[in-house]
Amino acid sequence: MSYVEMPGANVPIRMWADPKTVEGAAMQQLRNVATLPWIKGLAVMPDVHYGKGATVGSVIAMQGAVCPAAVGVDIGCGMSAVRTSLTAADLPDDLSRLRSKIEQAIPVGRGMHEDPVGPGDFHGVPTGGWDDFWGRFDGVADAVKFREERAVKQMGTLGSGNHFVEVCTSSDGAVWLMLHSGSRNIGKELADHHIGVARELPHNQGLVDRDLAVFIADTPQMAAYRNDLFWAQEYAKYNRALMMALLKDVVRKEFKKAAPTFEQEISCHHNYVAEERYDGMDLLVTRKGAIRAGSGDYGIIPGSMGTGSYIVKGLGNEASFNSASHGAGRKMSRNAAKKRFSTQDLEEQTRGVECRKDSGVVDEIPGAYKPIEKVIERQTDLVEVVAKLKQVVCVKG
């Protein structure tokens, strides 16, 4: 499947999504992005849907500028996954104890660790750069420095919304561990602060949508944002690494007799900025709800909590700025899902999955998301499927 090119003010809109299925508000956001003076390219992923300022599921390449709302408020949000030596036959019939142990080890929602965790607490987690990372917290925006204690204790925690920890089985019977989270509250605080700063800058006053306010190169505001952005992306990466370490510890203890081992972890951001070069230009590429899919890059494209997920390998398609979708993508808002579906619907759609089935997660029901298989089918020129996973345990925030 290749892309459909639609006209845009300053760049064409390359769509791997079916234009007929994209809601009108999201299409207008894409047209708005294409009007930005600094834009050099816009690629739209098959899971695209309406977001704040820029759509979720868009890849925006700009020269000398970056739009903080096009990164999203959960800076560095992404996925991690690892294949284990366990097989489906090693799993007990009743998985409730395993879910309970995971929930005890990894704080969810607004929860945090009583005592901070770090790489030194776990065997095999690299400790290099950890002290330097926290040392650079002194350089982030003054407006959020009072959150330092919370940021320290939330490191290695899940959060809420669509974040999750899962135990999955692949089509060949292997057990995989997978999780989805980002930079927790500190990333949101930094994003909100900088979006507010950008909206007030003189060069943003004439934009068609003030939520598309940008920072431009060689300004103190851009320097401050880049500093905090890259720090928050690093926070998100550490956060997932420590959660995976906690998850592995649970699995080692629960399956002591099987002595599980773990292959190399796959980890990818899907709300972030990267410095990349295309057509001889140094660009700032913003992926909001999209993963990097350069040639040979491994990535993770999850479905909803009852459908399954895909491990993929990038094909290096420069038309998409080496990108692919980040998941199934919502087809209705959280409020709409709560009005349409009941807990009974949730139970039916998550049958066979050990997970919460109460009113607090109805907005995450599979029926609120696009079919993951169709999302994968629309990007066969972006990624190849390496493994298909089906969750058997799902922990939600």
Enumerate helices (H) and strands (E) in the chain, giving the number of each.
9, 18
* 10 annotated ligand binder: no
* 164 annotated ligand binder: yes
* 327 annotated ligand binder: yes
* 227 annotated ligand binder: no
Give the bridge partners for 6, in sequence order.
Answer: 13
Task: Report which of 355, 359, 343, 347 is spatially closest to residue 100, judged by C-alpha positions.
Answer: 355
Residue 29: exposed, middle, or buried by beta-carbon count in 10 A (0-12, 13-18, 19+)? buried
* 308 annotated ligand binder: no
* 255 annotated ligand binder: no
How many other CB atoms are found less than 10 A from the CB of residue 197? Answer: 17
* 140 annotated ligand binder: no
- d(CA 298, CA 387) in angstroms, rounded, equals 11
* 144 annotated ligand binder: no
* 131 annotated ligand binder: no
Residues 343, 175, 239, 288, Cα dihedral to 10°: -70
Is 269 assigned a catalytic role? no
* 271 annotated ligand binder: yes
* 204 annotated ligand binder: no
Residue 311, SS3 per DSSP = strand
* 165 annotated ligand binder: yes
Is residue 166 a contact partner of residue 311, using CB atoms and an 8 Å limit? no
* 113 annotated ligand binder: no
Of residues 49, 193, 269, 326, which has the active-site annotation?
326
Task: Report which of 341, 320, 323 is spatially closest to residue 331, judged by C-alpha positions.
Answer: 341
Residues 292, 297, 303, 307, Cα dihedral to 10°: 170
* 328 annotated ligand binder: yes
For 72-108, b/e burial (b = at least 16 CB within 10 A) is bbbbbbbbbbbbbebeeeebeeeeeebbebbbebbbb
* Dihedral sign, Cα of residue 217, residue 221, residue 223, residue 225: negative
* 302 annotated ligand binder: yes
User: Which residues line the annotated binding site for Mn(2+)?
Assistant: 74, 163, 180, 270
Catalytic residues: 326
User: Which residues line the annotated binding site for GMP?
Assistant: 162-166, 270-271, 302-305, 309, 326-329, 396
User: Which residues line the annotated binding site?
Assistant: 74, 162-166, 180, 270-271, 302-305, 309, 326-329, 396
